[in-house]
């Protein structure tokens, strides 16, 4: 309980099948006994990955919430993990540690974890991460220094992009529009969204989406529709707006399912959003217009102060 309270204080500062499942069984492609035709293997199984702030572990779960698998602490390298991103082509996950200023890479099953450290001293309480697969780059926002770090996916070639022209204030999360060459960052300090070019130039504060942001935590983009989605830790809601910061609307609490929401990820093809709830240790799924909100519960009972979320739909 003390660890959970500590994790929540940090956030406040910025205003069943599991018993039968193991990761090995998933990798083998079967739930229990495999009788032809076999159930989908982990390589084709739609799933989500969630970081857990208190247990310092990563959870893999089905998108319906009907199963969950504990990937553990990635060889003990996780220390208050927060942001998470997926390189599907290479079969890798990337996780940033708030407490020890590090980025960790591992296989999708949690094996072969590698600690890239603080990327040449540029990381300070890293909290959000996004990948540019076209350039094999990772972008990380640093809550502690209000800066953005960019590096190659192997941890080399680190560049500190600074505070984007003075626009960053306790950044919490980052999302990329690679096609347009833009990054979007949530500011916990002034409850706003910032956009900038991927090289760090052209930083612009887009404001609070018409007053819709209240202690914003997570951001995700639907680039095809020109929309951004933001979780509000402060009032238990999700806000949406255009990528230029106009047209802000509150989508509410998704049918009463949100409680201290943190991370958000989109399944664009299915028209759905997935949100982690720090207050209830549960995941919410809803339509992109905010309707149809349903709690998926706590897959396998593994979530413990869930934070970052990434999908393989």
Domain presence at residue 158: no
For 37-41, 81-85, 112-116, 268-272, which range has the lowest pLDDT when averaged over its residues? 37-41
Give percent of the chain above pLDDT 70. Answer: 86
State how far the alpha carbon of 155 is from the alpha carbons of 104, 118, 151, 272, 293, in Å.
10, 9, 6, 32, 38
Domain presence at residue 39: yes
Q: Rounded to an integer, what distance in angstroms lies between the CA atom of residue 221 and that of residue 198?
A: 15
Beta-sheet strand order (sheet of 294-297): 261-267, 272-277, 282-287, 294-297
11 pLDDT higher than 60: no
Helix, strand or coil for residue 105?
strand
CATH number, domain with residue 64: 2.120.10.80
pLDDT value of residue 27:
41
Element holding 28 (H helix, E strand): helix 23-28
Quick one: pLDDT band at residue 244, thresholds 50, 70, 90? very high
Whether 278 contacts 11, CB under 8 Å: yes
Domain presence at residue 107: yes
Q: Residue 275: which domain range?
A: 2-115+166-312
38 pLDDT higher than 70: no
Whether 105 contacts 140, CB under 8 Å: no
Half-sphere exposure of 235 (CA within 13 A, CB side): 12
Domain presence at residue 123: no
Mean of the per-residue pLDDT values for the chain?
89
Q: What is the DSSP letter of 15?
A: -
State how far the alpha carbon of 285 is from the alpha carbons of 252, 292, 293, in Å.
13, 8, 6
Mean pLDDT of 8-27: 39
Nearest to 182 by CA among 194, 198, 159, 168: 198
Element holding 195 (H helix, E strand): strand 192-197
Mean pLDDT of 271-300: 98
pLDDT in tens, 117-141: 999 999 999 999 999 999 999 999 9
Domain presence at residue 173: yes
Domain presence at residue 287: yes
Domains contained in the chain, number: 1
Which residue would you say has higher pLDDT here, 15 or 286? 286
Domain presence at residue 233: yes
Mean pLDDT of 94-98: 98
Mean pLDDT of 84-107: 98
Quick one: pLDDT band at residue 1, thresholds 50, 70, 90? low
2 pLDDT higher than 50: no
For 12-16, 129-133, 206-210, which range has the lowest pLDDT when averaged over its residues? 12-16
End-to-end Cα distance, the chain: 33
Quick one: pLDDT band at residue 143, thresholds 50, 70, 90? very high
- Taking every pair of C-alpha atoms in the chain, what is the biggest distance, in angstroms? 59
Predicted TM-score (pTM) of the model is 0.89
Alpha-carbon dihedral angle through residues 95, 97, 103, 107, given to the nearest 10 degrees: -30
Whether 213 contacts 205, CB under 8 Å: no
Domain presence at residue 121: no
Mean pLDDT of 271-280: 98
pLDDT value of residue 62:
96
């Amino acid at each position: 309980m003390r660890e959970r309270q500590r994790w929540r204080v940090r956030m406040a500062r910025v205003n069943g099948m599991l018993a039968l499942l193991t990761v090995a069984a998933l990798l083998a492609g079967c739930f229990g006994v495999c009788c032809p035709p076999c159930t989908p293997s982990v390589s084709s199984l739609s799933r989500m990955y969630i970081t857990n702030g208190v247990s310092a572990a990563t959870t893999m779960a089905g998108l319906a919430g009907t199963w969950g698998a504990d990937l553990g602490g990635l060889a003990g390298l996780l220390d208050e993990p927060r942001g998470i991103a997926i390189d599907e082509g290479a079969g890798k996950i990337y996780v940033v540690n708030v407490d020890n200023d590090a980025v960790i890479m591992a296989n999708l099953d949690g094996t072969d974890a590698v600690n890239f450290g603080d990327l040449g001293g540029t990381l300070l309480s890293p909290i959000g991460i996004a990948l540019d697969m076209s350039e094999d780059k990772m972008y990380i926002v640093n809550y502690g220094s209000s800066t953005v770090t960019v590096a190659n996916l192997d941890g080399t070639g680190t560049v500190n992009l600074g505070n984007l022209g003075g626009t960053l204030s306790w950044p919490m999360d980052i999302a990329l529009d690679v096609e347009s060459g833009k990054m979007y960052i949530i500011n916990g300090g002034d409850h706003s969204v910032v956009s900038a070019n991927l090289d760090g130039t052209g930083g612009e504060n887009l404001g609070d989406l018409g007053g819709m942001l209240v202690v914003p935590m997570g951001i995700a983009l639907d680039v095809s529709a020109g929309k951004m989605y933001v979780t509000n830790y402060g009032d238990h809601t999700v806000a949406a707006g255009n990528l230029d910061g106009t047209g802000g609307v509150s989508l509410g609490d998704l049918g009463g399912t949100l409680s201290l929401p943190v991370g958000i990820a989109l399944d664009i093809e299915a028209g759905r959003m997935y949100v982690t709830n720090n207050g209830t240790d549960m995941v919410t799924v809803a339509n992109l217009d905010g309707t149809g909100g349903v709690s998926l519960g706590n897959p396998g009972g593994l979530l413990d102060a869930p934070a970052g979320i990434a999908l393989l739909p």
